[in-house]
Amino acid sequence: MALKDSILGFLRHHRDNILKYGIRGSIFIFGLLFVAASFVFTYAYFTVGIPDPKAFVNSQSTIIQYADGTELGRIGSENRTIVPLAKIPLNLRHAVLAAEDRNFYSEHAFSPQGLARAIWDNIKSLGNGGGGSTITQQYAKTAFLTPERSIQRKIKEIVIAIKLEEQQSKDQILENYLNTIWFGRGSYGVQTAAQTYFGRNVNQLSVAQDAMLASILRSPNYYGPSYTDGLNRLKARWQYVIDGMVKEGWLDAAKAKAMKFPTIAPKVTSGALAGPKGYLMAYVSAELLKLGFTDSQLQVGGLVVKTTLEPRAQMAAQDAVLKRIPTKAPADLRVALVSIRPGTGEIVAMYGGRDYLQSQLNNATQSTTQAGSSFKPFALIAALQNGISLQSTWLGSSPAVYDDPNANTIYSVYNYSNEQFGKINLLDATAHSVNTVFVPLGMKAGLQNVVDVARKAGIPESVQMWATPSVSLGVASPHVIDVASAYATFAAQGIYAKPFMVKEVLGANQGVLFESRIQAQQVFSADVMADLTSALQGVVKYGTGGAAVNGLNRPAAGKTGTTTDNASAWFNGYTPQLATSVALFRNDGTQTLNGIGGLGAVTGGSYPAQIWNSYTKVTLKGAPIIAFPAPANIGGTEPTDFTTAVPTLDPSLAVKPTSGLKKTASPKPTKKN
């Protein structure tokens, strides 16, 4: 900066004399400057190195794709896609040359005449004039230098431009230039600019569109169509480019005369991570980092990441939430959905929230809330593994009080609205989600067994669970993805598969850097899963989850989940092809959902089941209808009486819920005297 300041100070001091004496004054000044500049240039030529051109040209954002190869979004500070010169239309190349440097192929790395004009312009404006740069200079500045306006930077620019032409052909320089230059709207390079301004690939542009992209290069801010009067300036510049193409013989005059200024796509101002998409991008980024890729690789490595996400499923998830959740829902309402391919662990859809820019907490993978009756299948599996039949009978009276000698406590359990069932078999108790059956069921099957089943199904160690009577009623607070993974295990007939979203990663040279491997194992027997599914089919056929299969017309199974005070509501369901969990809760997971949309009670059978239904119908439309395996009838078909399997205490000892008789997520423990 010292050299720049001294020269500008000199120019300011002698400005009046320069302007007064015109050419003679200019010669005097240029003579003084020539000696100094010659020395500085010679020094710079031997001291300024040229970075590896490929290091910048090949730096580009990471492209995230859906499973079918269509683009989901990009990660990286620079939105760039590299296109070989041979695939860049000749008309676009000619348009850029007409706009920026018509003598590119015949001139050297820099133009002395242009530089002289730029110096004189800067003398008159005291450093605020134009640059007089050739395309080679522009590429050198864009690729290897900062945008500061200084004499030192200009000298480095010229030196690098000269050295570039010593190493690269004109075609190579033009290709690199077209792939690195800034077009505004967050886009670098002609391919990304074509997508940004016209929504198409560079080889699909018309000549008029080619000329428009070339026109904006001079100053994307000044000529930007979204800026004040920018569109009028851009149209004038566009006409200049068209005329230049005609003058150089690159465009027929008659075609040019008939050409109209093209329609430009509206500018997207909400940001690349706005809306539900941001949660997907953040999840993919986190998964890539866990796989060993670095931040630098994600930002400028030009990776192509194919995910397991399916576009129709993802759009169906977002549309289902938008369609089913009332517009006047509380601002702190959280909605989450995760859908997994059974047996593979592939996440085909995820809804983590309404807008990532407003909240970066992913409701599907980071937020937690009590699972409620979503956990009852774990107790059912533990019972089936112990030979307890679905036809066994239990006592569904409410309230019921149970003794837990291990914890020196007694547990009071109420059914939803204190509903009375009397003697009821496990099939019906599952369909109607009877709390006073599932607590003794878990105790009879073994509370630690219930915990072990949940772990094997897919509930990770990070989710705290204790072997207490309340475990069967879902007092634990998992992530939605955890529960979706567990129900995918049910759908896959006992095969647990670790959930994942990154399927394949290609490098900038299209080489395969990573390929996913399905991590699956059989954790439950097929017979146990067949009986479990039979019970969970009853939930949607005649139980609490009927809204999930309205008009679905294919076999489905599932379980609602509703917690104390209706603070969280779940529906977890599956077909043989897809397992999906939907959850609603508010920020802290303790406020009631009741009243949303005018509903007196928001349960798992309301909005969550409706969202599941809308999503599944669209996603599986046209897919084969596959039947579940027939029940294995573990323990026989004759009913066994378990009404006294776990002794109950005097019901008068029951501690009533303080907020009314709701479907209790956790029994009320009371210390024994």
- Which sequence positions are flagged as catalytic? 100, 373
Token couple for 293 = 């890729």
**Nearest C-alpha neighbor of 446 from the set 528, 387, 379, 394:** 379
Q: Residue 459 and residue 366: Cα distance in Å, rounded?
A: 14
Report the b/e string of 256-273 with b at 16+ CB within 10 A.
beebebbebeeeeeeebb
Q: Residue 455 and residue 9: Cα distance in Å, rounded?
A: 75
Compute, in degrees rounded to 10, the torsion defined by CA atoms 71, 73, 77, 82.
Answer: 10
**Nearest C-alpha neighbor of 334 from the set 587, 588, 565:** 587
**Nearest C-alpha neighbor of 569 from the set 483, 639, 659, 667:** 483
* Alpha-helical regions (H) of 112-252: 112-125, 135-144, 151-167, 170-180, 190-198, 207-216, 230-247
Please classify residue 456 by burial: count the beta carbons closer than 10 Å to its beta carbon, then call 0-12 exposed, 13-18 middle and 19+ buried. middle
For the sheet with 668-671, list strands across it.
400-404, 409-413, 668-671
Please classify residue 301 by burial: count the beta carbons closer than 10 Å to its beta carbon, then call 0-12 exposed, 13-18 middle and 19+ buried. buried
H and E: helices and strands count for the chain: 21, 20
Do 619 and 316 meet the contact criterion of CB atoms below 8 Å apart? yes
Q: Residue 642 and residue 408: Cα distance in Å, rounded?
A: 24
Do 324 and 614 meet the contact criterion of CB atoms below 8 Å apart? yes
What are the DSSP calls for 191-221, one per residue? HHHHHHHHSS-GGG--HHHHHHHHHHTT-TT
**Bond preceding residue 399 cis, omega within 30 of 0:** yes
Do 141 and 133 meet the contact criterion of CB atoms below 8 Å apart? yes
Do 224 and 232 meet the contact criterion of CB atoms below 8 Å apart? no
Q: Residue 127 and residue 8: Cα distance in Å, rounded?
A: 7
Cβ neighbour number for residue 465 with a 10 Å cutoff: 23
Q: Residue 655 and residue 475: Cα distance in Å, rounded?
A: 17
Question: CA dist 263 to 220, 224, 411, 576, Å?
Answer: 17, 13, 70, 47
